[in-house]
Structure 1
Amino acid sequence: MASPDTTWKLSLFAPKKIVQDALLAHDLIEDWDPDLVIAGREVAEDQPDDWVLEGWLPRKPGKAEKAALAGLFTGKAPKVVIEELPPTDWVTLSQQGTPPIRAGRFHVHTPEYPADPQAIDFTIPASQAFGTGQHRTTAGCLEMLGTMKASGLIARNIADIGTGTGLLGFAALALWPHAKCTLTDIDPVCAPVVEENAALNAIPLGPRAGEAVMIVADGMDDPLITVRGPYDLLIANILAGPLVELAPDFARAVAPGGSLLLAGLLAGEQEAAVKQAMRRAGFRPAARLQNGDWAILWLRRRRGWSHAR
Structure 2
Amino acid sequence: MSWKITALAPRAVIEQALLAHEEAFDWDPGIVLSGSEIAEDRPDDWQLEAWLERKPGKREKAALAALFSGEPPGLVVEKLPETDWLVASQQDLQPIRAGRFHVHTPEHPVLNEPGVAEFTIPASQAFGTGQHATTAGCLAMLTHMRGQGILVRNCADIGTGTGLLAFAALTLWPRALATASDIDPVCVGVVEANAAANGIAMGPRGGQLVMTVADGMDHPLLAARAPYDLVIANILAGPLIDLAPDFARSLVPGGHLLLAGLLESQESAVRAACRRAGLRLGARLVNGDWSILWLRKRR
TM-score over 0.5 (shorter chain)? yes
Q: Is the aligned partner of 1:150 residue 2:151?
A: no
Q: Is the aligned partner of 1:302 residue 2:286?
A: no
Contact 1:132 1:167 in 2 (8 A): no
Q: Distance in 2 between matches of 1:189 and 1:87?
A: 23
SS of the residue 1:113 aligns to: coil
Q: Is the aligned partner of 1:187 residue 2:184?
A: yes
Paired letter, 1:189: V
Contact 2:102 2:111 in 1 (8 A): yes
Q: Is the aligned partner of 1:137 residue 2:120?
A: no
Over residues 20-50 of structure 1, what are the superposed CA-to-partner deviations in whole Å (9 max), with x where a residue is unaligned?
Answer: 1111122122221111111101112221111
Paired letter, 1:295: S
Q: How far apart are residue 87 of structure 1 and its match? A: 3.1
5+ residue gaps, structure 2 = none
Q: Distance in 2 between matches of 1:143 and 1:194?
A: 21
Q: Distance in 1 between matches of 2:131 and 2:24?
A: 27
Contact 1:158 1:231 in 2 (8 A): yes
| Aligned with 2:216 (options 216, 219, 230) | 219
Over residues 276-304 of structure 1, what are the superposed CA-to-partner deviations in whole Å (9 max), with x where a residue is unaligned?
Answer: 1111111100000000000000000112x
Q: How far apart are residue 138 of structure 1 and its match? A: 0.2
Paired letter, 2:253: P
| Aligned with 1:274 (options 270, 273, 277) | 270
Q: Which residue of 2 aligns with 1:41?
A: 36
Q: Is the aligned partner of 1:233 residue 2:233?
A: no
Q: Which residue of 1 aligns with 2:282?
A: 286
Contact 2:127 2:164 in 1 (8 A): no
SS of the residue 1:127 aligns to: helix
Q: Distance in 2 between matches of 1:198 and 1:252?
A: 29
Q: Which residue of 2 aligns with 1:13?
A: 8
Q: How far apart are residue 95 of structure 1 and its match? A: 2.7
Q: Distance in 1 between matches of 2:130 and 2:136?
A: 5
Over residues 43-90 of structure 1, what are the superposed CA-to-partner deviations in whole Å (9 max), with x where a residue is unaligned?
Answer: 122211110111112222222221221111111110111112233332
5+ residue gaps, structure 1 = 1-5, 304-309
Q: Which residue of 2 aligns with 1:122?
A: 119
SS of the residue 1:75 aligns to: coil
Aligned-residue CA RMSD (Å): 1.6
SS of the residue 1:256 aligns to: strand
Q: How far apart are residue 91 of structure 1 and its match? A: 2.1
Paired letter, 1:23: L
Q: Which residue of 2 aligns with 1:250?
A: 247
In structure 2, the CA distance between the partners of 1:179 and 1:138, relative to structure 1 (3 Å rule), is same
Q: Which residue of 2 aligns with 1:306?
A: none
Q: Is the aligned partner of 1:99 residue 2:94?
A: yes
Contact 1:127 1:193 in 2 (8 A): no
Identity %: 65
Q: In the TM superposition, what are the counterparts of 1:31-70 in structure 2 within 5 Å?
A: 31-70=26-65
Q: Distance in 1 between matches of 2:238 and 2:216?
A: 12
SS of the residue 2:283 aligns to: strand
Paired letter, 1:114: P
Q: Distance in 2 between matches of 1:132 and 1:232?
A: 28
Q: How far apart are residue 209 of structure 1 and its match? A: 0.5
SS of the residue 1:265 aligns to: strand
Over residues 191-214 of structure 1, what are the superposed CA-to-partner deviations in whole Å (9 max), with x where a residue is unaligned?
Answer: 111111111111110000100011
| Number of equivalent positions | 297
Q: Is the aligned partner of 1:178 residue 2:175?
A: yes
Paired letter, 2:63: A
Q: How does the TM-score come out when normalised to structure 2?
A: 0.95
Q: How does the TM-score come out when normalised to structure 1?
A: 0.92
Q: Distance in 2 between matches of 1:140 and 1:146?
A: 10
Q: Distance in 2 between matches of 1:209 and 1:217?
A: 21
Q: Distance in 2 between matches of 1:279 and 1:174?
A: 30
Q: How far apart are residue 256 of structure 1 and its match? A: 1.5
